[in-house]
Amino acid sequence: MHLSPPAQRLSDLLTGAANDPTYWPNASQLSVGLGSPVSTSARYAIDEQTRQRLTEPARELVGFLLRAERRPSGSFSMLVAAGLAGLDAEVSARLAEELGPIAVAEMGVLLGWDVELRALFAETVRALPYGAPPLPGVTEWRSGLPGYLNFARTALEAAEARVAAIHAGEIPYKAEKAFDDGEKATIGRAVRLALFRDEPWLPELLDRLLRGIAVAPTQAKTLPSQGLLFEIARAVEDHPIPEAISALRAARQTTRHAGVPKQLDRMFKRIEAALVNRLEVAFRLPDGRVRQAVGAHTAVISTDGEVELSWWHGDKKLKAVPAAARREHPEEVKRLRELAKQTLQQQATLVRALEAGYTSEMAPPYRQLAGRPVTDRLIWEFEVSPGVWRSELGLTVPDVPVRLWHPARASLEEVRAWREVVQGKELRQPYKQAFREIYLLTPAEEATGTYSNRFAGHVVDYRRLRALFKQRGWQSNFLGPWDGGGDGEAQRLLAGGRWRATLDHGLYDEGYAVTDQLRFHRLAEGGWHQAPLTEVPALVFSEAMRDVDLFVAVTSITTDPQWADSGPDRLQDYWRTGSFAALPPSAEVRRDVLSRLIGRTAIADRCAMTDRFLVVQGDLRTYKIHLGSANILMEPNDAYLCIVSAVDPHAGLFLPFEEDGRLALILSKAFLLANDTAITDPSITHQIRL
């Protein structure tokens, strides 16, 4: 049996095969206009005359779907057609036979809505293929739908009760059969809604549910529902909270399946990165400090400075895990080691969340962090009177507005003063704050209007670039030699998800990529809209540019000292020019630090600083070490000197920051070349004596 043309058109429209607003002749398109933030491919609003025209095609379509063994459209689209046809009861009865109880309950909620609202809900579900990021505003919009919030809690309670019944033996266990596909999707929507709203009842319920679906009630290595476990993990990635992450980690430890922990570990990297964009909840991360008796010894996880798991016997700190603890409490020792690793990751996430607070449009809840060691090494500002901010080291809790200090908001004198404090106290800050770079809009960028070319055209190591994307919270597709795989973009959300920076890049050659334009988009009216650079908040612009500067500084082929001999001829000019070019802000800060450090070293009288170089006077020649690439030119003829690495003779010299290793590398080369007559490496001495 085939559908008539009107019924087929309705089917195509509801399933997304047709979105042309002129698709329906002599009738307005079936569309929804509810003022929602959802940007959909169709808008659904029906007048009575159009509804009457659609009744017969809808009846035909519903009848066809009820008789079909396999329906071409989803259940939600079927509910839309049922509403147009007046066949809710028939469709409801049929779906109850095919779907699990939790999915049926969701259908029951939709049956209480008018056809327009059903259609928009169906559109938001259809617009989310597997693995796609959520549409902006969808979860927020669903939270306002009649009855849907209450349903979400009921659905999760029903899921948890079913899993408990399976473990109690009340429901026979079948691997991967605890929930059908429709129920997994329904539960995923319910979890997203509760996570988005940060519902107080969710953490305990979610912890029980995840532990239950992660392990079989028998000794089998299977799961009641691996699919639901990963669906919930994807929901947590969309709307992370610390408690949900902890529940997922507990499930990871519980499962006996060999592949599930590996998959979850990959997801944790994305989830932890996403948590940074939810500052209102990210600061609830546990402080990680632990003091626990293990037999006759005490295990301590401290977060003062670096995260450390130490073992004590009374007041004596031991050099290693005591043999008695390993022998008598092996599982507890293993758990504490895992907890220390988890604490290290949590501290890294917390530090990234603090950095992300710079671009927040609302003051993050910093007071949640009072008393934590990480705050003692940061500079804070307190509003002592309207518009007047005073900077202090360490987070106190006076009853005044507080924010993190940023050099872009300070005078040059204040910046210099704080750099002296950090250097003088040998204070290792959790992230680069006192010596942080500032990026201001240039006249060239004002002229281009909507994009920046400041870091475009650099040839970079693609593998290292991808690693930095992940480290700094940028999402990107993988480039490769397939159709459409040569060009891509990396994106990072800023300002709590209200702004997005996009870096275009493409494949240059096997293993290498080339950077392109940086653009900014603002979230408004449920979608992303490209913004002129002059409208981008100053700190949003500066922090995004700082990341891109780091990408280029670390991954550019100009930082590879061996490229001069091994690189393709067509890139030699680029390498020579870039290796000794004008300094970007990151290298200018490095010059400032080196000017402070060199005077405290034994080679101070042999060094001088210029605009681009640290000049080192050896006994054989004079050397110019570029402060960006760390590459070296030798006077008097600017001959290139290739030194891949150098022994670190300045051990114990305090470095206030070291994001990319370049500062230590430059110092190592300076110490080596200041005593060039002692160099014995023939690959170096041969170049010097030419």
DSSP-derived secondary structure for 60-128: HHHHHHHH-SS-SS-HHHHHHHHHHHT-HHHHHHHHHHHS-HHHHHHHHHHHTS-HHHHHHHHHHHHT-
Element holding 614 (H helix, E strand): strand 613-617
User: What is the rounded distance in angstroms from the CA atom of residue 156 to the CA atom of residue 206?
Assistant: 8
pLDDT at res. 116:
84
Q: In the structure encoding, which two tokens stand for residue 175, read together?
A: 């691997």
pTM of the model: 0.81
Residue 28 binned pLDDT confidence (cut-offs 50, 70, 90): very low
- Whether the pLDDT of residue 310 is over 80: the answer is yes
Least confident residue range of 106-115, 123-132, 284-293, 304-313: 123-132
Residue 581 binned pLDDT confidence (cut-offs 50, 70, 90): confident
Q: In the structure encoding, which two tokens stand for residue 382, read together?
A: 């307190």
Residue 343 binned pLDDT confidence (cut-offs 50, 70, 90): very high
Q: Are residues 43 and 81 in the same domain?
A: yes
- Whether the pLDDT of residue 30 is over 50: the answer is no
How far, in Å, are 402, 459, 546, 587, 622 from residue 578 at the CA level? 42, 10, 18, 13, 21
Q: Are residues 381 and 297 in the same domain?
A: no
Q: Are residues 348 and 367 in the same domain?
A: no
Nearest CA-CA partner of 413 in 444, 439, 391:
391
- Pairing verdict, β 622-626 and 632-635: antiparallel
CATH code of residue 182? 1.25.40
User: What is the rounded distance in angstroms from the CA atom of residue 659 to the CA atom of residue 436?
Assistant: 11
Q: Count of H helices and E strands in the chain?
A: 26, 19
Q: Is residue 42 one of the residues assigned to a domain?
A: yes
Residue 647 binned pLDDT confidence (cut-offs 50, 70, 90): low
Q: Are residues 299 and 271 in the same domain?
A: no
Cβ atoms < 10 Å from Cβ of 464: 15
Bigger pLDDT: 410 vs 397 = 410
pLDDT at res. 567:
58
Q: What 3-state DSSP class applies to 436?
A: coil
Q: In the structure encoding, which two tokens stand for residue 493, read together?
A: 């959300």
Average pLDDT, the chain: 87
Mean pLDDT on 63-92: 81
Q: Are residues 368 and 349 in the same domain?
A: no
Residue 37 binned pLDDT confidence (cut-offs 50, 70, 90): very low
pLDDT at res. 47:
65
Bigger pLDDT: 48 vs 372 = 372
pLDDT at res. 65:
83
Q: Are residues 85 and 125 in the same domain?
A: yes
pLDDT at res. 38:
41
Residue 18 binned pLDDT confidence (cut-offs 50, 70, 90): low
Q: Are residues 672 and 622 in the same domain?
A: yes
Nearest CA-CA partner of 419 in 657, 615, 628, 598:
657
Domain that holds residue 387: 360-423
- Pairing verdict, β 475-476 and 499-509: unpaired
pLDDT at res. 21:
44
- Whether the pLDDT of residue 56 is over 90: the answer is no
Assign 3-class secondary structure to 331-391.
Answer: HHHHHHHHHHHHHHHHHHHHHHHHHHHHHCCCCCCHHHHCCCHHHHCCEEEEEEECCEEEE
Q: Is residue 566 one of the residues assigned to a domain?
A: no
Nearest CA-CA partner of 461 in 578, 573, 560:
560
Q: Are 106 and 163 in contact (CB under 8 A)?
A: no
Q: Are residues 504 and 594 in the same domain?
A: no
Which among 218, 245, 275 is the end of a domain?
275
Bigger pLDDT: 575 vs 382 = 382
Residues 6+ apart with CB under 8 A from 12: 18
Instruction: Please give the angle made by the CA atoms of 427, 242 and 153, to the nearest 5 degrees.
Output: 165
Least confident residue range of 21-25, 284-288, 442-446, 451-455: 21-25
User: What is the rounded distance in angstroms from the CA atom of residue 596 to the CA atom of residue 587?
Assistant: 14
Q: Is residue 122 one of the residues assigned to a domain?
A: yes
- Whether the pLDDT of residue 307 is over 80: the answer is yes
pLDDT at res. 26:
34
Mean pLDDT on 607-624: 95
Cβ atoms < 10 Å from Cβ of 205: 18
Buried b (16+ CB within 10 A) or exposed e, 314-331: eeeeeeebbeebeeebee
Q: Is residue 481 one of the residues assigned to a domain?
A: yes
Q: Are 50 and 6 in contact (CB under 8 A)?
A: no
pLDDT at res. 193:
97
Q: Is residue 681 one of the residues assigned to a domain?
A: yes
Q: Are residues 155 and 263 in the same domain?
A: yes
- Whether the pLDDT of residue 558 is over 70: the answer is yes
pLDDT at res. 34:
35
Q: Total structural domains in the chain?
A: 6
Percentage of residues in the chain with pLDDT exceeding 90? Answer: 60
Mean pLDDT on 95-102: 92
pLDDT at res. 561:
78
Q: Are residues 344 and 364 in the same domain?
A: no
Q: In the structure encoding, which two tokens stand for residue 144, read together?
A: 């306002």
Least confident residue range of 171-175, 396-400, 493-497, 579-583: 396-400
pLDDT tens digits, 326-335: 999 999 999 9
pLDDT tens digits, 230-248: 999 999 999 999 999 999 9
Mean pLDDT on 678-682: 91
Question: Residue with structure tokens 């992300």?
Answer: 356
User: What is the rounded distance in angstroms from the CA atom of residue 487 to the CA atom of residue 480?
Assistant: 9
Q: Are residues 202 and 219 in the same domain?
A: yes
- For the chain, the maximum distance between any two Cα atoms, rounded to a whole number of angstroms, is 96
Instruction: Please give the angle made by the CA atoms of 97, 101 and 104, to the nearest 5 degrees.
Output: 70
pLDDT tens digits, 417-436: 999 999 999 898 999 999 99
Residue 27 binned pLDDT confidence (cut-offs 50, 70, 90): very low
User: What is the rounded distance in angstroms from the CA atom of residue 16 to the CA atom of residue 76?
Assistant: 12
pLDDT at res. 280:
84
Question: Residue with structure tokens 């016997």?
Answer: 313
- DSSP conformation class of 629: T
pLDDT at res. 565:
62
pLDDT at res. 260:
96
Which phi and psi (to 5°) does residue 189 adopt?
A: -65, -40
Cβ atoms < 10 Å from Cβ of 130: 7
pLDDT at res. 25:
36
Which among 131, 159, 174 is the end of a domain?
131
Q: Is residue 100 one of the residues assigned to a domain?
A: yes
How far, in Å, are 258, 267, 528, 600 from residue 271 at the CA level? 21, 6, 22, 43
Mean pLDDT on 618-636: 93
Q: Is residue 428 one of the residues assigned to a domain?
A: no
Bigger pLDDT: 414 vs 29 = 414
Percentage of residues in the chain with pLDDT exceeding 70? Answer: 90
pLDDT at res. 656:
84
Q: Is residue 560 one of the residues assigned to a domain?
A: no
Strand partners, 388: 385
Q: Are residues 384 and 486 in the same domain?
A: no
pLDDT at res. 569:
67
pLDDT at res. 45:
57
User: What is the rounded distance in angstroms from the CA atom of residue 170 to the CA atom of residue 177?
Assistant: 15
pLDDT tens digits, 148-201: 999 999 999 999 999 999 999 999 999 999 999 999 999 999 999 999 999 999
